[in-house]
Amino acid sequence: MKGFVFIGLLIFLYACQELGGDKTLTCPRKSTIDTAITGVWKFVGSKEYNQFELKTNPHSLIILPFNRNEYVLMFMPDKDSTENILMFKAIESRLSVRRIANVQALFDKLSEGYIYYPFKLMGDTLCFWGFYNAKVSNEIDNKKMIKKFILQHFNDTNYFSSVRKYVRIKANLPLLK
């Protein structure tokens, strides 16, 4: 239990360094499950930006539908690891053609806020990244301004924390109907 609390604290402290807010960027009821991103993904590395160090041990990311609008994300450490499974829920927001995961921690209780992770799916490769809060203006403090910022800087690595890269190792997991 102590290990789980410690890992949860590390994730919380890490997430506090990335752009987030109290609400999802779009209405959760308008989000739909995309079967192209469900499955099992193997972490293959990250590219750090802005002297932001993401310490990530080998793991897999399992993305499953939770219901018609939300996903469950499970970060599964490799079998030799002493780390615990981490679980999150996420909904997808689409801003123009840009895709953003609104991610919320599922620990002992549901966290109160969301972290916004733009992502790209290119065949069997999934990349997602966060925006480093130290690079985001303090004046960006509402959902409308956050959406505008994300659209303006979607591909601008000057604002990124790190880009995490995964490759698909299993698709076609059972889905809700």
**101-153 pLDDT, tens digit each:** 999 988 766 667 899 999 999 999 999 998 888 788 777 878 999 999 999 99
**In-domain check, residue 11:** yes
Q: What is the b/e burial string over 35-53, where b = at least 16 CB atoms within 10 angstroms of the residue's CB?
A: eebbbbbebeebeebeebe
Could you give phi then psi for residue 37, rounded to 5 degrees? -105, -5
**In-domain check, residue 176:** no
Tell the burial category of 93 from Cβ atoms under 10 Å away from its Cβ (0-12, 13-18, 19+).
Answer: buried
Please compute, for residue 91, the number of CA atoms within 13 A of its CA located in the half-sphere on the CB side.
19
CATH number of domain containing 70? 2.40.128
**In-domain check, residue 121:** yes
pTM of structure: 0.83
Q: pLDDT, tens digit, for every residue of 84-109?
A: 888 999 999 999 999 999 999 887 66
Q: Please give the tally of structural domains in the chain.
A: 1
**In-domain check, residue 177:** no
**In-domain check, residue 40:** yes
**In-domain check, residue 75:** yes
Query: Which residues fall within 8 angstroms of residue 69, CB to CB, at 6 or more apart?
Result: 28, 29, 30, 31, 32, 33, 91
